[in-house]
Amino acid sequence: VTIEEGKTIILGLQAISAPDERGYRTVMATINGQLRPISVRDRAVASEVAAAEKADTSKPGHVAAPFQGAVTTVVAVGDTVTAGEVVATIEAMKMEASITAPVDGTVERLAINGTQGVDGGDLVLVLA
């Protein structure tokens, strides 16, 4: 593939995996001789996992995961929390961090069940 004059990339398809539970396939391709895995959503495959709800940063009661990891909530619906209180923990790469309430409030809804893998920005819980 010629990108512009003097810049050419040599591409080659090596393999395509079966779709995972989220409907993604891993495409193995060579780019200028280097083997690269590329994760691609296959829209023809129905996902078995519901898309994660993202926190709305304009709403102070939305508590979001700060980064990708495994989140465990330590509060329940109906619990009253104060700003700065730990409401969940997140673990990634053998390190654990606390997720704290940004405002005082009552836990209105938990967006995750038990311990669950999340991406950064995913909604963890809602405070009212």
The CATH 2.40.50.100 portion of the chain extends over 62-127
Examine the pLDDT at 107 and tell me if it is beyond 70: yes
- How far from 55 is each of 95, 110, 114, CA to CA, in Å? 23, 12, 18
Q: Which one of 1.10.510.10, 3.10.600.10, 3.40.50.2030, 3.40.640.10 gives the CATH number of domain 2-41?
A: 3.10.600.10
What pLDDT digit, counting tens, does each position of 52-101 carry?
Answer: 789 998 999 999 999 999 999 999 999 999 999 999 999 998 899 999 99
The CATH number that domain 62-127 falls under is 2.40.50.100
In tens, the pLDDT along 22-45 reads 788 999 999 999 999 999 988 887
Range list for CATH 3.10.600.10 in the chain = 2-41
Residue 46: what pLDDT? 72
Q: How high is the pLDDT of residue 11?
A: 94
* pLDDT at residue 12, rounded to an integer: 95
pLDDT of residue 35: 96
